[in-house]
Amino acid sequence: MRYFGRRTGPATKARFLMMSSAVALIAASVTVAAPAVADDATAQRWIDSEFQPSTLSKADQLKELQWFEKAAQPFKGMEINVVSETITTHEYEARTLAKAFSEITGIKIRHDVIQEGDVVEKLQTQMQSGKNVYD
């Protein structure tokens, strides 16, 4: 995970999303809600099929994914655009983790994996034009 210091621009949007998720989680914890059975089934499917082995028990993994699902509720239906350079880790994130995140949270991820030079060029163009393509 990259560190986002105090900046403006695309990193600020990601920070806002994280902080808003935390606030939403706190607000949601004040009220009692019925468990989301379908979301638990989706999370459990990912735990069983992709997130093994793990240092966490399957029950603890489910609790973690339930937290993500609840924190993301205010943002369901939102689309986040991500760009990364072509390395194995980013290919796995784009192909597998983005799909898991989308299914569990309801937030759609469009993850472009391109060559490093192209990433730099696209981000420079984005900064110079003032038009955000990536979040």
Kind plus residue range of the DSSP H or E element containing 83 = strand 79-85
120 with 84: CB under 8 angstroms?
no
pLDDT digits (tens, 9 = 90+) for 56-104: 999 999 999 999 999 999 999 999 999 999 999 999 999 999 999 999 9
pLDDT digits (tens, 9 = 90+) for 12-47: 555 555 555 544 444 444 334 444 444 799 999 999
- pLDDT value of position 9: 54
Give the domain ranges of the chain.
10-129
Q: How far apart are the first and last CA of the chain?
A: 15
- pLDDT value of position 25: 44
Question: Which of 1, 8, 10 lies closest to 134 in space, CA to CA?
Answer: 10
Per the model's pLDDT, the better-predicted residue between 3 and 111 turns out to be: 111
- Alpha-carbon span 20 to 121, nearest angstrom: 30
